[in-house]
Amino acid sequence: MDRRMFLGKFLAGTASAALASNTVWGAASEGHGTTAGGSTSPAKGATSEAALKPMAIGLMISPANGPEEVISRVKKIGMTNCFLSLDGYIGKFSKDLATVIGGLLEKYSITATSAEVVGPGRLVWDFQNGPSTIGLVPKASRAARMDALKQTSDFARLLSIPHLQTHCGFIPEDPQDQAYEATVLAIRELAQHCAGNGQEFLMETGQETPTTMLRAIKDVNQPNLGVGLDTANLILYGKANPSDALDILGPYVRSIHAKDGRWPTNPMLLGEEVLIGTGVVDFTAVFTKLHKLGYTGAVTIERETSGPQQIEDVKAEKVYLERIISKIQQA
């Protein structure tokens, strides 16, 4: 997930909060605190991703400011699954919260396929300050983000969510760079923590080239380490197109963010995220390769805009993607 519009993330609040913030979905907040801990028993209502149809379309949501409004809207849009962006709950995870979220997922028959946090700390989604603020690469925020990811993993375990995902950051191309080794060690520790919770830890594409990500995966050397493929991020960061990236990372892909965009033409700013079908992502090529690779997981729509048009965009994107996926699967 690219978060140039971090405060306008999908589905972050109630209808009243949306009006106050001039966004349909609302905003998430950051915090610090302890992990969920406690029993490993899943909360009531947890549903397996395996029960979904192959490549079922889902939605990224941020439920911290109004979970029922957020989760019910996924159902109203006609989707069966969601990807939980949980930065607003950092420091607030608990078994009681898992019971609430799990109960709502059951009530609306929604499966949570993955969980993610990218904070805490300053995040600047551009080429100038991004390398020093995004992911696990920056030393100043690394420990706090590792703690937040472990909290999220422990919480996701209570909901039987099989994947924890995050941006690892601008991983150095040079494997001799000291920051490269430190990042690999951090990813390994997180992957091991997730393994203890029966989860896969996923590196989201974006800030690094596919080759650098593959090198890191091999150097981390943990069987539960995989890739969350964001179809637009590779383009927005000028790193690769997603179809070609699958030739390098395909066997490791465990999660998909469906998003469209255009190449960066300003060397200080990321490319522009746009409505699916209006950018340069070749979704037919991407989904054809994923199908051949045997990918059957969810396809999560992520639309990084705000306001009422966002809902209409998501509905249109769902129809667009389902048409392509259906043709590929039938063929």
Q: Look at residue 40 in the predicted model and tell me its pLDDT.
A: 47
60-77, pLDDT tens digit by residue? 999 998 999 999 999 999
The residue type found at 251 is P
In-domain check, residue 92: yes
- pLDDT bracket for residue 229 (50, 70, 90): very high
- Answer yes or no: is 256 within a domain: yes
pLDDT at 15 over 50: no
Distance CA 313, CA 307 (A): 10
What does the pLDDT read at residue 305? 81
Helix 139-158 × helix 95-107 angle, to 10°? 60
Q: Does residue 245 belong to any structural domain of this protein?
A: yes
Residue 325 one-letter amino acid: I
- Enumerate long-range contacts of 242-246, CB under 8 Å, 24 or more apart: 242/205, 242/281, 242/286, 243/282, 243/285, 243/286, 243/289, 244/210, 245/205, 245/210, 246/286, 246/289, 246/290, 246/293
- Return the C-alpha torsion angle 49, 233, 31, 107, nearest 10: -30
Residue 7 has pLDDT above 50, yes or no: no
Across residues 35-48, what is the average pLDDT?
51
Distance of CA 299 to the CA centre of its chain: 11
310 versus 146: the higher-pLDDT residue is 146
Task: Say which CATH number the domain at 142 has.
Answer: 3.20.20.150
Q: Find, among 185, 159, 155, 180, the residue nearest to 170 by Cα.
A: 180
In tens, the pLDDT along 77-110 reads 999 999 999 999 999 999 999 999 999 999 999 9
38, pLDDT greater than 70: no
Report pLDDT for 284: 98
Cα 8 to Cα 305: distance, rounded to the nearest angstrom: 7
Tokens encoding 77: 């849009």
Give the pLDDT score at 310.
85
pLDDT, averaged across the chain: 89
Q: Span 306-329, mean pLDDT?
A: 93
Tell me, yes or no, whether 10 lies in a domain.
Answer: no
3-state helix, strand, coil in the chain (%, to 5): 45, 15, 45
Average pLDDT over residues 34-56: 64
Tokens of 329: 């699967």
**Residue 293 belongs to some domain of the structure:** yes
**What is the model's pLDDT at position 43?**
62
**Amino acid letter at 321?**
L
- pLDDT bracket for residue 46 (50, 70, 90): low
Instruction: List the structure tokens of 100.
Output: 């609430």
Of residues 242 and 28, more confidently modeled: 242
pLDDT at residue 149, rounded to an integer: 98
Mean of pLDDT values over 141-157: 98
Residue 112 has pLDDT above 90, yes or no: yes
pLDDT at position 298 is 98
Residue 281 maps to a domain: yes
The residue range of the domain holding 223 is 48-57+87-330
Number of Cβ within 10 Å of residue 97's Cβ equals 19
How many domains does one find in the chain? 1
Give the pLDDT band (50/70/90) at residue 44.
Answer: low
Residues in the chain: 331
In a domain, 11, yes or no: no
Q: How many CB atoms lie within 10 A of CB 309?
A: 12
Residue 279 belongs to some domain of the structure: yes
- Where does the pLDDT of residue 47 fall: very low under 50, low under 70, confident under 90, or very high at 90 and above? low
Note every long-range contact of 317-321, with CB atoms under 8 Å and residues 24 or more positions apart, other chains counting.
Answer: 317/258, 317/275, 317/276, 317/277, 318/57, 318/77, 318/78, 318/79, 320/276, 320/277, 320/283, 321/57, 321/258, 321/276, 321/283
Q: Is 322 exposed, middle or buried (0-12, 13-18, 19+ CB in 10 A)?
A: middle
pLDDT above 80 for 35: no
Q: For residues 207 and 99, what is the distance between their CA atoms, to the nearest angstrom?
A: 35
Question: Do you find a cis peptide bond into 175, omega within 30 degrees of 0?
Answer: no
Residue % of the chain over a pLDDT of 70: 85
In percent, the amount of the chain with pLDDT more than 90 equals 82
Q: Is the per-residue pLDDT at 289 higher than 60?
A: yes
Average pLDDT over residues 148-170: 98
Mean pLDDT of 285-308: 93
User: Which residues have CB under 8 Å from 27's CB, separation 6+?
Assistant: 7, 8, 9, 12, 13, 17, 21, 62, 65
